[in-house]
Amino acid sequence: MENIKAREFAKNYLDELKKILDLMEEDLLGKIEELAVLLQEAKNKKNRIFMMGNGGSGSTSSHFAEDLSKGTIVGESLRFKAISLSDSMPTMLAWANDSSYDDIFVEQLKNLMEPGDIVIGISGSGNSKNVIKAIEYANNNGGVTVGFSGYDGGKLIKCAKINVHVPNFSMQRVEDIHMMVAHILMALLLEMEKFSSQEKKS
């Protein structure tokens, strides 16, 4: 009986993910195309790509930065300068302790960000204050801002210039799709690099 319930739960979960993806497919395909071009341009111009989030979104930030930094390399090709601001634990703790938890990302950007750099904020609710504060700083200082949100998009969808919005109120489903988008982008950028490398050889 328990196995039957587990199977039904898993099927319902997967069915819901399929419905969400069907609902957002057209918008998502356009956003993936737009972001792939944006990220490739950042690599070619040697701009940095910063990303950040809290909790599960922080894990997505770390995973995405690692994938871009390592998973897209072909031979001696240019490499992405991807940095997860969620990974510098001592720096985050220092700012949280001495100033405010709301400042843990923006203060890192003040040290590192230059005009033209990309800043990706990931927030399931779209209302993480530290993410919003960093995105607003980037907007005001020449950064190119991207928001990954869920729920109704919150404040993030209103302030990030490009948005990947998952219209669902389950944090787990939202985070699933955010990570999937990151993996699609990594795989796409790798294929783009392979194609470019082959063209140079021919």
What are the sequence ranges of the domains in the chain?
A: 25-201
Q: Topology of 25-201 in CATH?
A: Rossmann fold (3.40.50)
- C-alpha distances out from residue 113 to 23, 83, 101, 104, 173, Å: 35, 11, 19, 14, 31
Coil, strand, or helix at residue 75? coil
Q: How far apart are CA 96 and CA 89, in angstroms?
A: 10
Average of per-residue pLDDT across 32-44: 98
| pLDDT level of residue 2 (50, 70, 90 thresholds) | low
Average of per-residue pLDDT across 135-158: 98
| pLDDT level of residue 195 (50, 70, 90 thresholds) | confident
pLDDT exceeds 70 at position 150: yes
What is the predicted pLDDT for the residue at 40?
97
pLDDT exceeds 70 at position 1: no
Strands of 48-52's sheet, edge to edge? 81-84, 48-52, 118-123, 144-149, 162-165
What is the predicted pLDDT for the residue at 160?
98
Query: How high does pLDDT run on average in the chain?
Result: 96
| pLDDT level of residue 4 (50, 70, 90 thresholds) | confident
* pLDDT tens by residue, 59-83: 999 999 999 999 999 999 899 999 9
Return the residue matching tokens 């001495």.
98
* pLDDT tens by residue, 159-191: 999 999 999 999 999 999 999 999 999 999 999
Coil, strand, or helix at residue 78? coil
